[in-house]
Amino acid sequence: MNDWAPKRFWTEANVVERGGGFSVDLDGRAVKTPYKQPLLLPTRAMAQAVAAEWQAQTDKIDPTTMPATRAANSAIDKVAPQHADVVALLAAYGENDLLCYRAAAPDSLVALQKDAWDPWLAWSAQALDAPLHVTTGIMPITQPPESIARLHARVAQFDNFALTGFHDLVQLSGSLVLAFAVSMGKLTPQEAWPLSRIDEDFQISQWGDDEEAAEVAAIKRQAFIDGATFIEMSRLA
């Protein structure tokens, strides 16, 4: 029973304009979310991506191969009913942004972090009007309240779909600043991901890689890229 999965029951997945947006029909039947809500999407690009994922399924449906569908479901079922709470959760990352917590040693890691992260904290101060303090070690540091307020206001501007993708960027990287840089087109997700992995990659360089850890990291990297792609799709016509 553990290998049971829903089987494909349709022939064609098609994009349909409906209700002021776009949805996906499977042989004429509209796809619904797991909470049985209409899967109404904001852009044709997103609907086409979702339709392509459904069309690519074989005998059994594999949700792990359907990142756009899963993100769309989350946007409608989970993010929309608690938009303000999700905004607050993500904005709080500004108080403990990855880029603000630096190693005290060794010197080589200190230099790597400085070279990789200082430019993006400078960018945050200028482009986001949100300067953040840097500390050594893991003890919490108090950030400027006005910076946190401005970051919160920026996060609140995302609609439910963009916020869903942004959620993945923030939680997977641990950095609100890097997530903004990606969402604003200043970094590609492929460029931002290694910036969020400075510490882990340094440890690998010193002690070698672990196969299981590498597999988990690869899954997270792809999810990070998928999150950025979902934000982009939410803005395309």
**Domain residue ranges of the chain, discontinuous segments joined by +:** 1-65, 82-235
Instruction: Name the fold adopted by 1-65.
Output: ATP12-like (3.30.2180)
pLDDT in tens, the chain (237 residues): 345 457 888 999 999 999 899 999 999 999 999 999 999 999 999 999 999 999 999 888 899 999 999 999 999 999 999 999 999 999 999 999 999 999 999 999 999 999 999 999 999 999 999 999 999 988 899 999 999 999 999 999 999 999 999 999 999 999 999 999 999 999 999 999 999 999 999 999 898 888 898 999 999 999 999 999 999 999 986
Report d(CA 100, CA 115) in Å as an integer: 13
Class of domain 82-235: mainly alpha
User: Residue 2: what pLDDT?
Assistant: 44
Contacts of 192-201 with CB under 8 Å at 24 or more apart are 192/224, 193/221, 193/224, 193/225, 195/116, 195/117, 195/120, 196/98, 196/172, 196/224, 198/109, 198/112, 198/113, 198/116, 198/117, 199/103, 199/109, 199/113
User: Residue 210: what pLDDT?
Assistant: 85
